[in-house]
Amino acid sequence: MIRGILSGKGGVGKTTITVNLGIALHNLGENVVVLDGDLKNPNLSLHLGVFKYNLTLQDVVEKDISHISLLNALYVHETGLRFIPAHLSLNFLDTDASKLKSFLENSPYNVLIDSSPGLGKDSLSVLECCDEVFVVTEPYLPDITDCMKTLEVAKDRDVNVKGIILNKVRGKDYELGKEEIKACTNTNVIANLPFEENVLRSLKLKNPVINYKPLSKVSLGFNQLAADISDKEFVKPRFLPLKRAFSFIQNKSKSAKAN
C-alpha cells in the first residue's frame, strides 16, 4: 500500500503529519516506511534529527542501476520508524521524481510519502505512485480552495482520496469547521488536529511530538488517525488529566534541577 500526504499549499503540516502518523502506524504494528518525496525542499531529516547518510533517495534514483533498490537508502529512527530520506543538497535539485514509481513497485513495506505542495511536476509524480492519498489543509478559505484543486486532480487520476486532514485548528470563530469543509469539497474530514506549541518545540528539539509529548492532544490525534486508517481500535489512555499533570510536574522538576 502506497499512501501520500499532499496539500495545496506549503507549511500546512505535511512533513509533521508524515513523521508522526508514521510513528503512530509503526507503534500499531504496521510495516510502514516514510519517504521524503519533497525533492525540491526535503526536510523529513530535519524533523527526525538525522543528517548523516551513506545513500539517500536521490542517490538511488539517480544511479539508475537495476539492482539498486530504495531499501539501500532505508534507515531506522530511534523510535523504530523506518524512513527513506532525501538529500538536502542543491546538487540534487534536478532529480526526476517520475522515476520514483518504478522503485516503489513491489515494496515489501507500506509506504507513506511526504509530498511537495501544490500541483507541480514532483507532487504529480508522487500522486502517480499512490494507492490512496490524504490532503492536508488549514481551516481557512484560501487553503480550502487550494485543497480542492489537489482533491480534484487526485480524483481525476482515479487515486483513492481517503480524506482531508485538517491541521493547526485553534477553535476560533473565523475558522471553517469540518462540516463546512465537507460541504465545499465533497470530501470527509478524517482528522481535526489542533494547533499546539508542542509541535513547534518538538521541531526545535528534532524530536517528533508523538515521542516528545505522547499525551498531548495533537499526539492523541495522530494515534486516533493511525487507528482509523488501519481499522484498529483507538484506545484513549486512561486517567489522562492525571497523567498529564504528573508529566507536567516531572518536567518542572527536571528543568529546576537543570538550572
Ligand X SMILES: Nc1ncnc2c1ncn2[C@@H]1O[C@H](COP(=O)(O)OP(=O)(O)O)[C@@H](O)[C@H]1O
Contact 138, 168 (CB under 8 A): yes
Q: Judged by CB, which is closer to Mg ion: 120, or 237?
A: 120
Contact 99, 126 (CB under 8 A): no
Task: State the binding partner of 26 from ligand X, Mg ion, none, CB within 5 to 8 A by kind.
Answer: none
Q: Judged by CB, which is closer to ligand X: 27, or 192?
A: 192
Q: CB of residue 206 vs Mg ion: minimum separation in angstroms? A: 15
Spatial distance between the Cα atoms of 182 and 174, rounded to a whole number of angstroms: 17
> Nearest Cα to 43, choosing from 205, 206, 197?
206
Q: CB of residue 131 vs Mg ion: minimum separation in angstroms? A: 21
Q: CB of residue 93 vs Mg ion: minimum separation in angstroms? A: 16
Is residue 142 classed exposed, middle or buried when 0-12, 13-18 and 19+ CB atoms within 10 A define those classes?
A: exposed
Binding residues (CB under 6 A) for ligand X: these are 7, 10-16, 167-168, 193, 195-196, 199-200, 203, 218
Spatial distance between the Cα atoms of 192 and 138, rounded to a whole number of angstroms: 10
Binding residues (CB under 5 A) for Mg ion: these are 14-15
Q: Judged by CB, which is closer to ligand X: 69, or 198?
A: 198
C-beta neighbour count of 186 within 10 angstroms: 11
Q: Judged by CB, which is closer to ligand X: 46, or 68?
A: 46
> Nearest Cα to 60, choosing from 48, 52, 68, 49?
68
Task: State the binding partner of 165 from Mg ion, ligand X, none, CB within 5 to 8 A by kind.
Answer: none
Q: Judged by CB, which is closer to Mg ion: 15, or 150?
A: 15
Q: CB of residue 151 vs ligand X: minimum separation in angstroms? A: 16
